Amino acid sequence: MSFAAYKMMHWPTGIENCASGFITHSRADFVPRVTPIQTDELESEWPTRREIGPIPNLVVTAANVLEVYFVRVQEEGSGESKSPLQVKRGGFMDGVTGASLELVCHYRLHGNVETMAVLSMGGGDGSRRRDSIILTFKDAKISVLEYDDSIHGLRISSLHCFEGPEWLHLKRGREQFARGPSVKVDPQGRCGGVLVYDLQMIILKATQAGSGLVGEDDALGSAGAVAAHVESSYMINLRDLDMRHVKDFTFLHGYIEPVMVILHERELTWAGRVLWKHHTCMISALSISTTLKQHPLIWSAVNLPHDAYKLLAVPSPIGGVLVIGANTIHYHSQSASCALALNSYAFSFDSSQEMPRSSFNVELDAANVTWLLNDVALLSTKSGELLLLTLVYDGRVVQRLDLSRSKASVLSSGITTIGNSLFFLASQLGDSLLVQFSCGSGVSMLSSNVKEEVDDIEGDAPSSKRLRKSPSDALQDIVSSEELSLYGSAPNRTESAQKTFSFTVRDSLTNIGPLKDFSYGLRINADANATGIAKQSNYELVCCSGHGKNGALCVLRQSIRPEVITEVELPGCKGIWTVYHKSTRGHNADSSKLADDDDDEYHAYLIISLESRTMVLETADLLSEVTESVDYYVQGRTLAAGNLFGRRRVVQVFERGARILDGSFMTQDVSFGASNSESGPGPESATAVSVSIADPYVLLRMSDGSIRLLTGDPTNCTVSVTSPASFESSKRLVSACTLYHDKGPESWLRKTSTDAWLSTGIGESIDGASQDHGDIYCIVCYESGALEIFDVPNFSCVFSVDKFISGKTHLIDTLIKDTPKDSQKGDQGSDKVAGLGRKENVQNMKVVELAMQRWSGQHSRPILVGILSDGTILCYHAYLYESPDGTSKVEDSITAQGSVGLSSTSSSLRNLRFLRVPLDAYAREETSSGSPCQRITIFKNIGSYQGLFLSGSRPAWVMVFRERLRVHPQLCDGSIVAFTVLHNVNCNHGLIYVTSQGVLKICQLPSGSNYDNYWPVQKIPLKATPHQVTYFAEKNLYPIIVSVPVLKPLNQVVSSLADQEVNYQTEGQNLSSDEQNRFYTIDEFEVRIMEPEKSGGPWQMRATIPMQSSENALTVRMVTLLNISTKENDTLLAIGTAYVQGEDVAARGRVLLFSLGKNTDNSQTLVSEVYSKELKGAISALASLQGHLLIASGPKIILHKWTGTELNGIAFFDAPPLHVVSLNIVKNFILIGDIHRSIYFLSWKEQGAQLSLLAKDFGSLDCFTTEFLIDGSTLSLMVSDDQKNIQIFYYAPKMSESWKGQKLLSRAEFHVGSHVTKFLRLQMLSTSSDRTGSAPGSDKTNRFALLFGTLDGSIGCIAPLDEITFRRLQSLQRKLVDAVPHVAGLNPRAFRQFRSNGKAHRPGPDSIVDCELLCHYEMLPLEEQLEIAHQIRKQHTVTDHPGKLWI
């Protein structure tokens, strides 16, 4: 193998940066609501009701992923909380019943975000201006992004780059920098500052907001909101200001010009000198004049402690800055200063005056902090504790600082306040949390539910229940109020220090990182007979993730495997449907309401369509066939069945007619043939092909490409067949059509109508029974590829798109000319392409199926899905964009009346637009020559989830969470031909599907998994840090190394460190009594044996193996050793440990062997120690090599044979490795990865019993992990390093560059952008069965891909490629670098360059293709795809990669 492909399969989830700002809307978009009359008893206890002001967006970054969220707050008395049962996660607080995050946009950047800030224009609650996002990237790139309503996404506002030859002088000869660029912004939005190369400060000058006149603000209108943007940038060299070591900087509040405070260290100190040289830091405040480019020093403060590391600007009216250190907090302003000591290590500079101390001991290194009120800051410590810091002040003088303990929470990587009552805790080590806070003074008003651990907070609602009802509250219901009036107008009262806060968790974002190690094991409900892709779904990844109390086992499954309740053979099935029926039903609108809300009504009948007949089953306690005793049409196959008239009737549609049934009795029989005999010859020949039902209409597409509509009359429950006149005249052939029912609290599409006077009462045209149901629209695709939306029943066109089939990024009504830039490009290209004589490719493509749906939730937007004849799935999300010519909704009503006479499209949905959404992980369907069966099934409640199911040869679930689509394949049964929901006594909110083998399965979704993630995940909390996991297949057990932090008195710690040396004992006794009572946190290690629970519930701990005092377990592996006395193989659990006793004690470690068995009487696991031996050096890696045990102990690699009672060394290798971090074995080859010395390639020869070095890498590389990559007969060596790169080496002794075989040669190198901690070798599926007609020579069976996990929670794979495929993909990749828009201006090629961090490195070959870039090809419009494919002289199917990796 000389070539490989890199593909991400699960994107990063550990959130590094978070910020809040008005990105998608301005403060003025919030309408104050009238407070309800306070009758509630709880209200009367509150002196004043806390009003929720304007709520900003939340922006988060995880490695190279950027996401913007809406924060939806649901207030009491708002539209959605109709019943008291609907109180959301976190209960009721401050008039809020729930809050949730809803995704606005998600980007995968070609670069990792270092730091982020939000540039705000300031202004009061009435400001119409929006904020911008500033992102920084290594080494010195800055991107400013703003939200663009017209594309419903972010666009670049400005780019600032200080790299390259002309800026080389900024580095001052250095190549390595401790940290990347750091960005902060002025609170009033006048400028921003970015610190690059440790000592260069870039000032970003923001555009000033005109003269701040009110008139200008109003003239913008609602659509023309202006975002803050950067006008220019210039540089300040801090070295010229005599600053050497800058630690942090920030901008202060309350100055006329921006004032930047810089925390810097004048001279460095170190641990050995800290007793004499300790207060080395100082702060300097510079007044930044962006116009004059001057920065005079206005004040400074010296003698700050050496461990100060963070600055926090204090908001107005107090002003000033907090300096946070590990042991102290200092407050400084131009006029006053005070300090607070946090523990006994804190002392003042001259030791003369005593510092005030906090009432408890705490260390604040690595803390994150944000402001809850203008005088209360919230600190999140390294142990996950939340602390409240109160500034006690009089006027503008801070008198003292008060620190108090609050709750425990997640270990955070960042924290930001959102509005005036929420904050967000970002975490890389656990789930990130959205928390609501409430402030009372004196006594706490609300019962503060003390939840000491984040897992307890998580446990208060099943994830499925809480995520389903995710959205919340209309923007109009959110109020803006004066924040400060709440807390009394006298901030100088001493009681202000007595504020109490209550917190409640409102939402959380799942994180599976950091993935330290993972193992690949069999699922509990695995299918032993499965083959091919279905066999892959038998396995799951068990990952060590999290840290400390957020430590957990994450069980990841790449596909969904439903829990089967029962299954029956049912050959020849074409479709299945379930319908409701209640004999006693009221008439009128009440019944429709009841039907709409009544989720718990059971289904009455199951209708099964076979080749030439239909079966009907009753879905009572048992499924019993009632085909003979009902009036359903059973002589032929059924096309569709559903409910009409608020579930009072069932409609069954077959090829030549339809029946309306009341339960089992037919009330009407309709035939399709004769309704329009005038429409040309032979109308009887036309049969129905596809059906869409939306109460009270049924839409039929006929075999001759025409359309029929069955219109229901709710008064007497009958239907009549009509043929829409507009279609009769047009004679255009329809390739697919569907009905869309715009239900919900308010009809969504009505908002997009340009005619405000019309958008009040469209519903009146429909009969009263369906008045609440909202409007019904018909979406039609023609053979030409155009798409039109009609309103029903008038059939006037309200929206049309010319080339829906080409899959443009945005769909805009053809009547509108101001298309976004992106889609203009596609339009111009399409005409050109058509002329190039390649029309035949597009000619036979058409849309074969359509669906449009809006799921429950007040802010949900419709999703449009179309399936093309080649299997491509186009998925679009609707959004609202008011173009600037209709300046505001109010003026619309006036202009609309003038535009009525223009054309028949006066009621057009002119503000409706669609944005294309990528469907991750969805493999394209192979197209079958047979008649297309319906593939999309929409479900509203399966196990309380909602979304749609795609049947076919690659079935998949598309679930909707927070307005984002999560695609989860279902591989376990192969192809699925029919699917429907089932809700009855024995199958609660379950499903039925029929496989292509003719098996009907009744199932439920597994409850333990969380599907709001890239892969379904089940988290098993450990309350400890997991380090390594291995899998014992015979007994289905998982041994895991975990460490638990334990507090120990100092004298115990010292004595354990000094066991060997007698002279250390005296030192232990010299400790003062104060120091002896001090406690230290020591990690205690143990190995836990875990077993998965049969029902999919929490896992059971079967046994624990404790380690000795100060002994760390470093590695755990299941090894198979040949017992030379019995000549049998023993499978044992091997553990390698190290004693950590400080630098004065020689390193030693133990190797332990255990046998694992199960007691036959009960299911208890028996763990018995077979052998233990102490060796010199830490035992950091173990592996079994042809029945022997290979141990890496310190600098030695020793091979042992196993006699059954002891290990005897038979060979060793004294390489110069310092510390082996990974050990891999294939046959008799050994690959060793060293912590500093790169990799070594060894072989073992049985004859002479010798380990010999074949070759090594002569470069210096800090390895993270290694593995072999196998492609047929080619063996390559893969290694990942500390600079987030991967490299592939090979052994070629015959090549001259290899120095006669001593040196490993580079085959490929690639920058992943994440620390890869584990490679797992998995055999690839043979491509001949997986794909037909794959490239020649690619059907090798002996091909292995590497699955890898990273520290930021991402999972990807490296798969070998043959040369033909690689060359094609590489030429496509080169084209795509130019064809794909670069989000935030980042170049994909630059991102994948090897990073050497200043070390000498000879560039290796570019032999890995980046599938992250290639996957953009599918998202390009079809014309551009053909253009690119033509340029590289290959067909459209250029990306059909022959070796797909499936887990």
Q: What is the pLDDT of residues 86-128, one digit of tens each?
A: 446 777 787 888 899 999 999 999 999 999 999 998 767 677 8
Pairs from 534-538 (Cβ < 8 Å, separation ≥ 24): 534/971, 534/972, 534/973, 534/974, 536/971, 536/1325, 536/1446, 536/1447, 537/561, 537/970, 537/971, 537/972, 537/1447, 538/972
Beta-ladder partners of 233: 204
Burial 446-478 (b: 16+ CB within 10 A, else e): bebbebebbbebbeeeebbebbbbbbbbbeebb
* Cβ atoms of residues 280 and 266 within 8 Å: yes
Beta-ladder partners of 1223: 1232
Q: How far apart are CA 416 and CA 426, in angstroms?
A: 8
* DSSP, res 1159: -
Name the pLDDT band for 820 (thresholds 50, 70, 90): very low
Amino acid 512: pLDDT: 95
854 has a pLDDT exceeding 90: yes
Neighbouring CB atoms inside 10 A of 1219's CB total 19
Q: What does each C-alpha distance from 1020 to 554, 1023, 1029, 1100, 1309 come to in angstroms?
A: 6, 9, 14, 10, 36
Structure-derived torsion over alpha carbons of residues 256, 258, 263, 267, reported in degrees to the nearest 10 = -100
User: Residue 700 contacts by C-beta under 8 Å, 6 or more apart in sequence?
Assistant: 653, 672, 688, 689, 690, 691, 707, 708, 709, 710
More confident residue, 42 or 1205: 1205
Amino acid 42: pLDDT: 41
49 has a pLDDT exceeding 60: no
Structure tokens given for 853 = 């749906």
1322 has a pLDDT exceeding 90: yes
* Cβ atoms of residues 313 and 300 within 8 Å: no
Q: Is the pTM of this model over 0.85?
A: yes
Of the chain, the percentage scoring pLDDT greater than 70 comes to 81
Mean pLDDT of 190-200: 94
Tell me which amino acid residue 1395 is: R
415 has a pLDDT exceeding 60: yes
More confident residue, 1176 or 91: 1176
Mean pLDDT of 1116-1124: 95
- Phi, psi (5° rounding) for residue 765? -70, -20
Amino acid 886: pLDDT: 47
pLDDT in tens, 926-957: 655 455 678 999 999 999 999 999 999 889 99
CA 1374: distance to chain centroid? 28
Amino acid 1397: pLDDT: 85
Amino acid 893: pLDDT: 34
Amino acid 1434: pLDDT: 47
Name the pLDDT band for 74 (thresholds 50, 70, 90): confident
Mean pLDDT of 373-385: 93
Tell me which amino acid residue 742 is: D
Amino acid 541: pLDDT: 94
Structure tokens given for 820 = 């976004």
Nearest one of 489, 357, 338 to 399, comparing CA atoms = 338
Tell me which amino acid residue 766 is: I
pLDDT in tens, 644-656: 988 899 999 999 8
Matching residue, tokens 């869309």: 740
Name the pLDDT band for 705 (thresholds 50, 70, 90): confident
* DSSP, res 478: -
Q: How far apart are CA 671 and CA 675, in angstroms?
A: 8
Amino acid 1072: pLDDT: 65
